[in-house]
A = this chain, B = another copy of it.
């Protein structure tokens, strides 16, 4: 496998984008990443689109061709990749594989989801398709419900508190304050979280990431092309993907995600670095409990101690592992197919030292999760190639 790097990044504002369509936001993010890469469109040899459910949200499948066509990427091979909320990272990983294999030397990845156009309970039902339809969704088990079961078990096993869950939301809202792309730019307090409406006990409204429209895109290229692009490159040092049972009830543990551990091990092994080398992380906080579990599964903190770790500021900027310093899914918003790519965009900016948060990292990682943990993708980036 050859060395590769992300040489261009772009995204739309995340939020309720009533005046823009699915194709509008995909094109906006894609063009922005191509422009940032300084490549000509003709140099992009393949397109990978991460999207979970445009078929249900927007009545549109076949997003590879849609986005290639509307971006003016004439006749490039295009694929839409889907793994629920990990769709963006799965698309990124397939693009990485295409470039790392030497079959092509540059690809565009666009992650996109337009979630607000559906009416009534549409978004909730659509998202439930990320879990096991026959064993979970069909009996009314929503994603807040699934993560609530995990949170309740984590509280029971390890004494994790509702205040610790709330501290994740508070931190991420604080981090998002200066992120111009974030859906929410407002501070919240522990009291705001624990007094907000119950969604699925113990998770409350502010424990949940929102329904969001948005798109993000990156250009990934060979080391040769990356070197010509100067100091804009963030090298992909490792990429791992794991799966687990689709239904939560089939797992031995509710408090760890095996897929994350598998993906992380593969990425660490490939990158030939360890947890201690990672300086910034964007992890999947679709619900607050998931950021706690993520930091544990990635090895940043011992199992069961993630809540205290975050509460004590160790995941904050200046702490042991600055996490979701752009606001995470909680404040950025969570357009499901876009999130994995958005995480890459943000980590790349930090590797470049050009993120609004002024972090400048030698190594960074993202963890993107699909469903209740049936898919996990971990990517590790660095300033220099392996």
Contact = CB atoms under 8 A, between A and B. Distances in A.
B132 A77 contact: no
A155 B22 CA distance: 36
A64 B89 CA distance: 14
B82 A94 contact: no
Contacts of A47: 243
Contact of A133 (B58, B69, B132): B58
A370 interface: yes
A219 interface: no
Interface string A71-85: 000011111111110
B69 A250 contact: yes
A103 B97 contact: yes
Contact of A131 (B62, B129, B247): B62
A244 to B, nearest CB: 7
Interface in A193-247: 241-247
Given A76-B243, A78-B375, A243-B75, A61 B130 contact: yes
A385 B243 CA distance: 33
Contacts of A312: none
Interface residues of A, number: 65
B81 A80 contact: yes
A83 B78 CA distance: 8
A371 B62 contact: yes
B243 A68 contact: yes
Contacts of A66: 132, 246, 374
Interface in A90-108: 90, 93-94, 97-98, 100-103
Given A55-B53, A262-B75, A129 B94 contact: no
A245 B77 CA distance: 12
A81 B79 contact: yes
A1 B243 CA distance: 27
Interface in A28-74: 47, 52-53, 55-56, 58-66, 68-70
A381 to B, nearest CB: 19
A222 B194 CA distance: 55
A375 B64 contact: yes
Contact of A80 (B56, B70, B82, B128): B82
6 contacts: A21-B134, A55-B126, A62-B83, A65-B374, A66-B132, A81-B81
Interface of A: 1, 21, 23, 47, 52-53, 55-56, 58-66, 68-70, 75-84, 90, 93-94, 97-98, 100-103, 125-126, 128-134, 137-138, 241-247, 250, 258-259, 262, 370-371, 374-375
Given A64-B243, A70-B246, A97-B101, 8 more contacts: A53-B55, A59-B128, A59-B137, A62-B131, A62-B246, A66-B374, A75-B259, A79-B81
